[in-house]
Amino acid sequence: MSTSDLNNKPVLINKDHLFFMVLAFLAVLLAMLAPMFLPGRFYNDARIITLDLYNEIGWIDSYPLTMAFYKYTGLRLLPYWLVGFIQLTILFWALFKIGVPNGFSRLSLKNALVWISFFILAIYTSMPSKEFINFLVVALIPGFLYKIYKSQSRFAVLSCLLLIVFGLLFRVYFVLIPVLSLLFYGLGKLRLKTKIAFVFGLGIFAVIVMSLSYSFIKGPYLSEISREAVNNERRFSPEAASMIEPPLNVNTWYGEAVSISYGFFTVNVPVNGLKFLGKPQILAFVIWQLMLFAFLIWGFANSLRKQQTYPRMLWIFYFLMAYFIVQGVFEPDLGSAIKHKIGILPLIYVALYYDYFRKDIPV
């Protein structure tokens, strides 16, 4: 074969990349069509962000900062279908730059979970949304820091600093993620046969202690100023159907302990959501969440067994598991639970495909 023949040989398109782009295209199309079929309650946050009726715009806290972002980028002036097109294009570009794992186009349960996640992402970011900003910041951990810093210590320290700064500026509960992750790191060094049980047990206990300490200094417990505050305002509204209501009142230390534990299991192992037989969207979330959590626990266990070989990947799991515990404190309902998990989709994406990503995320 001559050199000219080699030069003229057609370049084969990676079928996994092609499949990713087809799914992304369909998800972007869904985002553009979403304003035609989504109920009005889906746009409550979007209206708050774009209208800023009470002049809350600023640079600290999630709503003020999000309002500033959409004002100064000009996105709040655009129709929702165009906002959806722009945002989804950026988010899928970020995921594509993180990497497309081998076998992504094959039909499997794990792949199906991710494919479904793409369309959930389209629904929740098809409008001005806090999750758009959340997603982009979180994507810096696997998409930039993981690629640049091969040292476990540098990657861990810089990722923790990013989450702390983001928490202080945007969502304060993100500050708890590095704290819990450091606890998990210390626990991971112990030779325990049931490390995962100890990780979650220690994490939940640590958050309970933090809440009780906060109450001792400030008065209310953490779940009182977050989940309960939100739910008390809408307890008798139509949007309250999927509220997370702990079995005990949270105005006692033992009630708060039960509330935090109950919240963790409700947002991560939501078998109690099976009672919503008349709400297919909630049942779909329950099934998606149960399967997702099972796959992530399996990957976490494997990464713990190989922590000396792939220590940076273990930190991805630490951040993710810490978020799951923290989410159990602040999450008001099952609907927002899935929305907030979509905000950390880059970490979930990499953790699900840990076998592909743990050595080095391709550039």
Instruction: Quote the pLDDT of residue 244.
Output: 85
Which residues, listed in sequence order, are joined to residue 333 by a DSSP beta bridge? 243
Summarize pLDDT for 235-279 with one digit per residue, the tens.
Answer: 766 666 678 888 888 888 999 999 999 999 999 998 877 777 667
Per-residue tokens: 144: 């930039």
Q: Which of 81-85, 184-188, 283-287 has the highest mean pLDDT?
A: 81-85
Overall pTM surpassing 0.85 (yes/no): yes
Q: Which residues lie closer than 8 Å to 282 by C-beta, 6 or more apart?
A: 242, 273, 276, 334, 335
Summarize pLDDT for 89-111 with one digit per residue, the tens.
Answer: 999 999 999 999 999 999 999 99
Q: Look-up: residue for tokens 């909630």?
A: 282
Residue 76 in contact with residue 49, Cβ under 8 Å?
yes
Domain regions of the chain by residue span: 14-128, 148-363
Least confident of 147-151, 299-303, 334-338: 334-338
- Closest C-alpha among 319, 298, 18 to residue 142: 319
Q: How confident is the model at residue 309 (pLDDT cuts 50, 70, 90)?
A: confident
Q: How far apart are CA 135 and CA 131, in angstroms?
A: 6
Residue 247 in contact with residue 256, Cβ under 8 Å?
no
- Closest C-alpha among 19, 25, 12 to residue 111: 19
Instruction: Quote the pLDDT of residue 363.
Output: 42
